[in-house]
Amino acid sequence: MNVVELRDMYFAYNDKVILENINLSVERGEFMALIGPNGSGKSTLVKLVLGLLQPTQGQVLLYGASVNKFNEWYRVGYVPQKAALTSKFPATVKEVVATGRFGRVGLGHRLRQDDWKSIEEALEMVGLISLQHCPLVELSGGQQQRAFIARALASSPDILILDEPQVGLDDRYVYDFYRLLQQLNKEQNITIIMVSHDVGAIGSWVDRIACLNRKLVCQGSPHDILTPYNLNHIYGTDHPAVAGLH
């Protein structure tokens, strides 16, 4: 079954076409990376999938239903490229991560014991449990990013959509993080769509890579996609990752 499906989709901001004729489907249990240069429309595509933007043409389907009719949003975990939290937002790490659970609990209901357990598990997964009572503003940028990842995990999602989640994470943690994603993907069959510029590393983790540059340039297994020819074609210049590949 297709978790996400884009059919002949176009998107334009005012009269500037950003995405053109996109056909893409992501199957249940897949781990897919979306790559492409700055401004190629990756975040825009993610927002279309989440129903935050409406396509100018074509269809966006989630679990087979039109995104506007979809009402099981608690199944979707989202890590935005830039978290919208104001820099002085007064909340503890745990309070912020807890919001990820709200969609599951439902409007007007309180979090119950097992909800708090999921929230603590999410904190555990990203290694922030010892900082849970710390105000978010007192965390480093990378630690905050981990809090936002935990927020997405707290809803026990079936599908994770991450927009450059590894930005700001240190090298050692990036590795742990990819391993965590792989574990969620393999053990809990969570579908993952990850936007990334980390071309050098993701190849060994994901099942499929899709390259975007206004159009869907190419997609396939990491082995087929991550060739010097393709990367040069996508990124236009000699990409540093290309040198490391062969």
Ligand X SMILES: Nc1ncnc2c1ncn2[C@@H]1O[C@H](COP(=O)(O)OP(=O)(O)OP(=O)(O)O)[C@@H](O)[C@H]1O
Question: 123 or 210: whose CB is closer to ligand X?
Answer: 210
One of 6, 26, 40, 194 touching ligand X (CB under 6 A): 40
The conformation of residue 109, written as its DSSP 8-state character, comes to P
Measured CA to CA in angstroms, residue 222 lies from 8, 107, 190, 225 at distances of 24, 41, 19, 5
User: Which spans of this chain sit near other proteins (rule: CB under 8 A)?
Assistant: 50-52, 71-74, 76, 78, 80, 83-86, 88-92, 95-96, 99-100, 102-103, 105, 107-108, 110-111, 133, 135, 151, 155
45-74: which residues touch ligand X (CB under 6 A)? none
As to burial, measured by CB atoms within 10 angstroms (0-12 exposed, 13-18 middle, 19+ buried), residue 236 is exposed
What, of Mg ion, ligand X, other proteins, none, does residue 213 touch, CB below 5 to 8 Å by kind?
A: none
Q: Would you say 56 and 13 are in contact if contact means Cβ atoms under 8 Å apart?
A: no
Query: At 47, is the secondary structure helix, strand, or coil?
Result: helix
* Least distance from other proteins to the Cβ atom of residue 20, Å: 25
Closer of 18 and 159 to ligand X (Cβ): 18
Instruction: Tell me the closest approach of the beta carbon of residue 48 to ligand X, in angstroms.
Output: 10
Binding mask 58-87 for Mg ion (x = CB under 5 A): -----------------------x------
Residue 36 interacts with ligand X (CB under 6 A): yes or no: yes
Return d(Cα 227, Cα 233) in angstroms, integer: 10
3 state SS of 208 = strand
Q: What is the closest distance, in whole angstroms, from the C-beta atom of residue 112 to ligand X in the complex?
A: 37
Pick the closest to residue 63 from 129, 157, 180 (CA basis). 157
83: number of CA atoms within 13 Å, CB side? Answer: 26
The strands making up 76-79's β-sheet, listed across from edge to edge, are 76-79, 159-163, 191-195, 31-35, 208-213, 215-220
Looking at the Cβ atoms of 96 and 242, the one nearer to other proteins is 96
Scanning 39-47, 57-65, 87-95, 130-138 for contacts with Mg ion by CB under 5 A, the matching segment is 39-47
Can you tell me the distance from the alpha carbon of 46 to that of 51, in angstroms, rounded to the nearest whole number? 9
Q: CB 71 → other proteins: shortest distance, Å?
A: 7
43 binds Mg ion, rule: CB under 5 A: yes
Among 25, 81, 156, 227, binds ligand X (CB under 6 A): 81
Q: Which residues bind ligand X (CB under 6 A)?
A: 13, 18, 36, 38-44, 81
